[in-house]
Structure 1
């Protein structure tokens, strides 16, 4: 990049948590207030490029690619604040049974530090919008920003049906730092999952996966030519050979990674009908909801954020007589 480029352009690397995202959605998350029409116009004029090449709004971005943007893009994004505020309000309300937005948000907060806030996201609440999805965390953040102060930003994602720790950045600088930490794997994520059968005491799953499009929504399949995916697992407690509470650590951040990996080794996560069919629903006192919870997140400074499991998962564990791991439990403790 020469000095002339530096005065005209801004360059953004695609982080791991945005791998596979549509270009237009990535840009709207990166630059709050940027309109779809503005994105389309800049793409047509070649002002936005992926690795130097022209792109379309529906183009999928990949980790490691570089997006070139005009330096004026932040000014363009702030040109229509009233329209942005109206859109944000429509996305975020009514939320969670019509409760006031700020209270809904505050009730989810489980930790806060310099530059970040951690939520315990409930199962069933999407992180981002999509076709037919009107209520989501990203919409909440946009609406809250219109009430004063800088908008908080997403720095990673978890599935709609997965509960647990969701980290937010308080400002753009923190967002870049935390996104980089996720990309470099200096943030440790530990999930709890109630799985069918009795998996080995510990081990690792290395199986590349790819997305299979379909009318029923996004689905992942094993594909040796797909994106690399690596998961560590450890048994926590089990009810005979029928159901087991597992601790899972994703070392990569692929869509549905934990769900497809456990299904591939024959121990589908309880309630995961997408990958386990009827076998994922044992019946009895075990709820049909997905039993996958983002339990702990360890930040680079050593700070540990812990999210209590959702009621349906607590009820299932109690019914089975299974014990949660102790606070601060880590893979290397065993």
Structure 2
């Protein structure tokens, strides 16, 4: 399956990464042949080098470089928080109209065993702002509640800590729908029963602004929602409050 290319020149290529696809093979998934890096290498006929990451379950804008030097230059923009990233996500409960989650996060390292991620090192600054776009109330019981309340958010993480958005909204007590690691199992079970084949981690990297590392021109990339997200949002419209 070919990837949707959002931008390409001799230095960079950007795609709309589908949910469920790894960015590259890891030591925990080394037997998997399918990943963005491999698909893009076959699709473009060039070696590609990751610049930043999206979680396996997350869809949206993902940039790769055609040389290690371009990858290094662009990765510096991410590490220095000079890029602008906008995500959309669906969370449990009703959120404020707008807010900022300022909560330091420690580094996560992947590991084998029951606990997939191990917290290591000291906490580092992590700030995520959000705006509530819509809220919904479904007449479906969840755990001890008579209905299921959800919020559709536009989110902008200042940094790019591992799982920053997912960890921040867990801390905010409004975890993401479909998040098997930090989410609410009661919400996820009900949502999976309702949405069946469309059920997924409801997190999408919608847009990315950065400076081209070679031409110094501003670049803005946007990625459309997947059909699964569109289907879920269209069903939720009946329960908008």
TM interval, short-chain normalised: 0.7 to 0.9
2:181 match: secondary structure: helix
Question: Contact between 1:230 and 1:250, CA under 8 Å: does it hold in 2?
Answer: yes
Quote how far apart the aligned CAs of 1:182 are.
1.4
Residue 232 (structure 1) aligns with: 129
Aligned to 2:77: 181
Q: Distance in 1 between matches of 2:199 and 2:227?
A: 13
- Judge conservation of contact 1:155–1:179 (CA < 8 Å) in 2: yes
Cα displacement string for residues 151-176 of structure 1 (whole angstroms, at most 9, x for unaligned residues): 22211111011011001113334223
Question: Residues 183-215 of structure 1: CA distance to partner in whole angstroms, max 9, x if unpaired?
Answer: 222211111001111111111112222337562
1:119 equivalent in alignment to 2:15: yes
Matched, 1:132 2:48: no
5 Å matches for 1:1-334? 99=1, 104=2, 107-113=3-9, 115-130=11-26, 131-133=28-30, 134=32, 135-141=34-40, 147=45, 149=46, 151-210=47-106, 211=108, 215-219=113-117, 225-240=122-137, 242-281=149-188, 282-283=190-191, 284-285=194-195, 287-300=198-211, 301-321=217-237
What secondary structure does 1:275 align onto?
coil
Q: Contact conserved, 2:175 with 2:184, CA < 8 A, in 1?
A: no
Q: Residue 320 of structure 1 aligns to a residue in which SS?
A: helix
1:173–1:217 CA distance, 2 compared to 1 (3 A): same
| Mapped contact 1:235–1:245 kept (Cα < 8 A) | yes
Question: Aligned in 2, Cα 1:154/1:224: closer, same or farther, shift over 3 Å?
Answer: closer
Aligned residues: 214
**2:144 is matched with which residue?**
none
Larger radius of gyration: 1
Name the CA distance, whole Å, in 2 between partners of 1:195 and 1:122: 20
CA distance in 2: counterparts of 1:295 and 1:163, whole angstroms? 8
CA distance in 2, matches of 1:163, 1:269: 14
Contact 1:209 1:224 (C-alpha < 8 Å) held by counterparts: no
**TM-score if structure 2 supplies the norm length?**
0.78
In the TM superposition, residue 142 of structure 1 has moved relative to its aligned partner by: 5.0
Q: TM-score, normalised by structure 1?
A: 0.58
Measured after TM superposition, the shift of residue 259 of structure 1 is 0.6
> Which structure: greater helix fraction?
1
Q: Cα deviations across residues 236-275 of structure 1 (Å, max 9, x unaligned)? A: 1122481111111111111111111111111111111221
More strand by share: 2
